[in-house]
Chain A
Amino acid sequence: MLDIVLSVLIVIGAFFTLVGSLGLFKLRDFYMRLHGPTKASTLGVGAILVASALHFSFKTGDLSLHEVLVTLFLFITAPVSAHLMAKAALHIRVRQDKRTLNRSDKD
């Protein structure tokens, strides 16, 4: 039973990481590609870490929670690096996809 739950979690994690990488590879401009890694680092890594915590908690009999820390550190560092890259890209005017909506289009 536990094995089934673990397998499902790992497959979910692998699937979202794959979609994230696919996005990173195939999307049209730098800003859109930035969305790939933020996806992969949330649900993708999250599901795999939950699987890891469950596996080691049941295997050793002790609660294994340091996976929570990996999630915490990822959740702090991933958005900061994405923010810095986006800010730097805006600053040096990296090419935008021509369909990109800007705030000036709205007014």
Chain B
Amino acid sequence: MLKRWFPHPFLSLALWIIWLLLNNTLAFGHVLLGAALAMFIPWFTASFWQEKVVIRRPWLLAKFVAVVIYEIMVANVVVAKLILTKQDKLQPGFIQLPLDLTSPIAISLLANTISLTPGTVSCDLSEDQSYLLIHALHVEDMTATINEIKNHFEKPLKEIFN
């Protein structure tokens, strides 16, 4: 029953929360209207969601978000220092990151995370989805950078989605 009404529970929940945040209220009318939207929008957009999104460990996702926010703050300071002090000595580079992830959602989340962290922008995904091409503002040690991304971001994503 619940499954038939909410085929994509995470999408529905996200839509409901976004609706309430948009209106910045918890008034009863909006709670109901939001719930109705959370039910109908996944129906109308069902053809865009061919695979079911499975989040195996939601609490790990929360931890991942916290790690990402922390990394963003650290990287912001590092990159600000680079831009202000070593601007002419920067060593930019393209990095090929071999992917262990297979689910498209996990890959796009990883690419998004990499772009959000200052200092690295994901540029391209190889045809067979086995490599992610990343541009880094300053590379000191390519293998170290790759390992850092793999340990900090890819590993938790793999645990959450695979």
B106 CB-CB contact with A under 8 Å: no
Interface footprint category on A: 35 or more
Q: For the complex, give the distance between the alpha carbons of A60 and B80 in Å.
A: 35
Residues of B within 8 A of A26 (CB): 83, 87
Q: For the complex, give the distance between the alpha carbons of A20 and B6 in Å.
A: 42
Please determine whether B76 and A39 come into contact, CB atoms closer than 8 angstroms.
yes
Q: For the complex, give the distance between the alpha carbons of A65 and B135 in Å.
A: 34
Q: For the complex, give the distance between the alpha carbons of A91 and B152 in Å.
A: 30
Q: Which of A26, A28, A34, A83 has the most CB of B within 10 A?
A: A83
Q: For the complex, give the distance between the alpha carbons of A21 and B91 in Å.
A: 20
> Which one of A38, A75, A76, A87 lies within 8 Å of B118 (CB-CB)?
A38
Residues of A within 8 A of B123 (CB): 31, 83, 86-87, 89-90
A14 CB-CB contact with B under 8 Å: no
A43-B72, A86-B121, A86-B123 known; A32 vs B92 contact (CB < 8 Å):
yes
Q: Which residues of A contact B (CB under 8 A)?
A: 15-16, 19, 22-23, 26-29, 31-32, 34-35, 38-39, 42-43, 62, 64-66, 68-69, 72, 75-76, 78-80, 82-83, 86-87, 89-90, 97, 99-103, 106
Q: Which residues of B contact A (CB under 8 A)?
A: 18, 21-24, 72-73, 76, 79-80, 83-84, 87, 90-96, 111-116, 118-119, 121-124, 133, 135, 137, 139, 142
